[in-house]
Amino acid sequence: MYPTWHALFRNIPEDTVTKLASHHVIDHYGLRSGLGYIVADDGKITMMYMDAAALEMYQLDLLEGRLPEDEDEIVVSRGILEALSLSGEIGDTIRVPYQVNRNGSLDFIQEKTS
């Protein structure tokens, strides 16, 4: 139910990640990156990337389907589909409005079919 990690660092430079990863008290680590937001009427839905170690530490187990393997694949919940007034099943193609983080701020709204 709970993640297995003990600390989360945000907005740190890559050289700091390298230093932390090599520190003797760090047993293992994963990388998570906030890529942007999916735009919804009631707020913003975070889009993020996680490497295999971060996924393991977050204990993300899908009830159905699989994790994305290709650039144009995403995982969304039924709640996210409802918030976007979309419908779909595993493997379906949907059109998602989103904003990416670019140079520390949100870029213009884009849409992509995934």
**Residue pLDDT tens, the chain, 114 long:** 567 778 888 888 989 999 998 999 888 888 988 888 887 888 888 888 888 888 888 887 788 899 888 888 888 888 889 988 889 999 999 888 888 877 777 777 777 776
pLDDT one-digit tens code per residue, 6-18: 888 888 898 999 9
pTM of the predicted protein model: 0.70
Number of structural domains, the chain? 1
Backbone angles phi, psi at 52, to 5 degrees: -60, -40
Element (H, E) at 79: helix 78-83
Which domain range does residue 23 map to? 14-113
Q: Which burial class, exposed, middle or buried, applies to 6 when counting CB atoms under 10 A from its CB (0-12, 13-18, 19+)? A: exposed
> 34 in a domain, yes or no?
yes
> 1 in a domain, yes or no?
no
pLDDT at position 114 is 67
> 40 in a domain, yes or no?
yes
> 61 in a domain, yes or no?
yes
